[in-house]
Structure 1
Amino acid sequence: MYPEELIAPMRAELSNVGFEEFRTAEQVASHLGSEHKGTTLIVVNSVCGCAAGAARPGVAFAVENAKIKPTTLATVFAGN
């Protein structure tokens, strides 16, 4: 588990562009198992360089510039 002060800015990169944060496996399962209509994009966030250099900036760019967006944007943090 990473200290919250280390990962808070990484969480914010996605929540600032509209991603809902799931903090537990139960939250993910509940959302995916619900009568939810539409599509869900779940991004697995991480402290690794790949997430910082490509995943978070790439997905933020994609959703900010998309003509059609998923109904729900969600994120989970790996290792926490």
Structure 2
Amino acid sequence: MFMNDVVQVARQEMAEAGYTELKTSEDVDAVIQKPGKTFVMINSVCGCAGGIARPTAKYMKNYDVKADNYVTVFAGQDREATAQVRSYCEGYEPSSPSFALLKDGEIQTMIERHEIEGHEPMEVAEKLENAFDQYFK
């Protein structure tokens, strides 16, 4: 029961931040295959997701450079959707939490767990700002 509560809070946090939750491979394809810029937050229940990744994802919704789509999948919960997102992230190992920047269905870059865990939220935000400036302008 506790884990369900943690998952629900984490899902709600992203929904309130304006992210669309993708739960199936069809949901993922429908967004990522559209022309445009897609920012994916691969969510998880670990402490670094709650203390660093989700707050950073919320912050990025307000950054000057915008994605066309802000979406999230939940690793360990929505396995089909998470696997489908990862299929677009060629060259990167599965990692959660993490962030993927895709443009016209092609991976541009990822911020992986090792770049999130143990870092301050603003450090991660700076990495994402630089990535948005480079790939989404």
TM-score, structure 1 as length reference: 0.82
RMSD: 1.8
Higher relative contact order (CA 8 A, sep 6+): 1
Aligned residues: 76
Q: Alpha-carbon deviation of 1:26?
A: 2.8
The residue number in structure 1 matching 2:9 is: 9
The structure with the larger Rg is 2
Q: Amino acid of the residue matched to residue 17 of structure 2?
A: V
Structure 1 partner of 2:27: 27
Contact kept in structure 1, 2:31 and 2:69, CA below 8 Å:
no
Report % sequence identity: 34
Letter matched to residue 15 of structure 2: S
Residues 1:71 and 2:68 are matched in the alignment = yes
CA–CA distance in 2 between the matches of 1:11 and 1:79?
Answer: 13
CA shift for structure 1 position 4: 4.0
Superposed CA offset, 1:25-71 (max 9, x none): 232123223xx23200010010011101100001111222x112100
Q: Given the superposition, is the C-alpha separation of residues 27 and 70 from structure 1 closer, same or farther in structure 2, using an over 3 Å criterion? A: same
Unaligned residue ranges in structure 1 (runs of 5+): none
TM-score by length of 2: 0.50
The answer for unaligned runs of 5 or more in structure 2 is 78-137
